[in-house]
Amino acid sequence: MSSAKENTAFPILFAISFCHLLNDMNQSLLASLYPILKTSFHLDFSQIGLITLVFQITASLLQPVVGLYTDKRSTPYSLAGGMGFTLCGLLLLSVAPRYAVLLMAAALIGMGSAIFHPESSRVARMASGGQHGLAQSLFQVGGNGGTALGPLLAAFIVVPHGQASIAWFSLAALLGMAILIRVGHWYKKRQAERAKRKAGAGASGPALPPRKVAFAIAILIALIFSKYFYLASISSYYTFYLISKFHISVRSAQLYLFLFLGATAVGTFAGGPVGDRIGRKYVIWVSILGVLPFTLLLPHVGLLPTAVLTVIIGLIIASAFSAILVYAQELVPGRVGMISGLFFGFAFGMGGIGAAVLGHLADLTSIAFVYRVCAFLPAIGLLTAFLPDLEHTRPAGKNL
């Protein structure tokens, strides 16, 4: 284990995590702007859900394709290119005069996610030195930290200064592009060495038949559905829920959203290292099913308990994704890009579909009803019982 730690490229991990922060911070501005856009463009909840759907579906459809392509052909500088799409989307969002242009901006931001996430996840794994859970957690915590910063920056910059102030965030995208070009240089140098290691070691992974692998992947996808459908209810509609139920201001609601998203950033870091030590299946158990009592209680309490419960939910549920992603990568060794793209893409897609479906449900009923329904989603975590124990089936040798 010590050699693995010595070989872990922490400067690259911190660089890719910081760029993940910048990337997701810029992307989270879109959802943070919903209360402003709803008023400025006279949107209903279904139209807000459609904006999220366009963003998430664009990302979800392209990510597996990008991952499959990059498994076969090295593209070290595509990371900077992905953030370039996000940059263009932000600039368009800052000047959008009508709803159709908002959708175009959302699509560009989604394309940026589709290009950035599979390859950056691969870089994190390459730099892990064998500590795959730790590397994915460091990478993910950057993204969750950026997602948490979005509402905070929107509250103090965009709300007072208006839609045009979004253009200032292009500076963060430019900084990210500069760093990612340097990461691309490292990636290019390491690619040949990594290919030799893989050729020498051969494909390693769990000794499971293809049908069991497919069944396990299906369970993991169901767990992703549970996690991100529930998260869609928070990320897209939590501010509206607080404003409607507790009659607080938009800025105050965004600060409460920041607390939840900040908790997810902290929780994300725990899942990977703990999974490296005790097994990813145990982390998946706790992170999905473990939030059920808190989600069931959430719709029935006051403002302060609501804030406390959402922080607890964020801390627990956030640990799931890193564990699920590394577990899936170990199920299908040699297909890091495709698996990363599939799971990132499905996560984005579920977030988008969830936002659209829940927005329509809110229009038909109420925001409070949405939270009462979504409270039962973590019960899907019971499916974790059917996942194989990879620690008992993995052959000797490291996964690359």
Residue 291 in tokens: 């939030």
Q: Which of 84, 105, 91, 94 is nearest to 19 (CA)?
A: 84
Q: Would the pLDDT of 178 be above 80? A: yes
pLDDT (mean) for 249-265: 85
Which class for 97: exposed (0-12), middle (13-18), buried (19 or more C-beta within 10 A)? exposed
pLDDT (mean) for 222-250: 88
Taking only the tens place, the pLDDT of each residue in 29-80 is 887 788 788 888 888 888 887 887 888 778 777 888 888 787 777 788 888 8
For the chain, give me the number of helices (H) and strands (E)? 18, 0
Taking only the tens place, the pLDDT of each residue in 289-344 is 889 999 999 999 999 999 999 999 998 988 888 888 888 888 887 777 778 878 87
Residue 206 confidence class, pLDDT cut points 50, 70, 90: low
Q: Which of 151, 144, 147 is nearest to 317 (CA)?
A: 144
pLDDT at 108 (0 to 100): 92
Structural domains in the chain, CATH included, are 2-393 (1.20.1250.20)
Q: Which of 103, 233, 94 is nearest to 168 (CA)?
A: 94
pLDDT (mean) for 165-184: 90
Residue 369 in tokens: 């009803």
Secondary structure of 59-94 in HEC code, one letter for each residue: HHHHHHHHHHHHHHCCCCCHHHHHHHHHHHHHHHHH
Helix (H, G, I), strand (E, B) or coil at 205: coil
DSSP designation for 382: G
Q: Would the pLDDT of 362 be above 80? A: yes
DSSP designation for 383: G
The DSSP line for 307-359 is HHHHHHHHHHHTTHHHHHHHHHHHHSTT-HHHHHHHHHHHHHHHHHHHHHHHH
Question: Phi and psi dihedrals of 185, rounded to 5?
Answer: -60, -45
Alpha-carbon gap, residue 124 to 120, rounded angstroms:
6
Number of residues that this document lists for the chain:
400
Q: Would the pLDDT of 5 be above 50? A: no
Alpha-carbon gap, residue 47 to 49, rounded angstroms:
5
Average pLDDT value over all residues in the chain:
82
Residue 373 in tokens: 């329904």
Element spanning 243, H or E: helix 210-246
Taking only the tens place, the pLDDT of each residue in 68-114 is 787 777 788 888 888 999 999 989 988 888 899 999 999 998 899 88
Taking only the tens place, the pLDDT of each residue in 187-201 is 888 876 666 655 554
pLDDT (mean) for 248-257: 87
Contact assessment for residue 352 and residue 52, using Cβ atoms and an 8 Å cutoff: yes
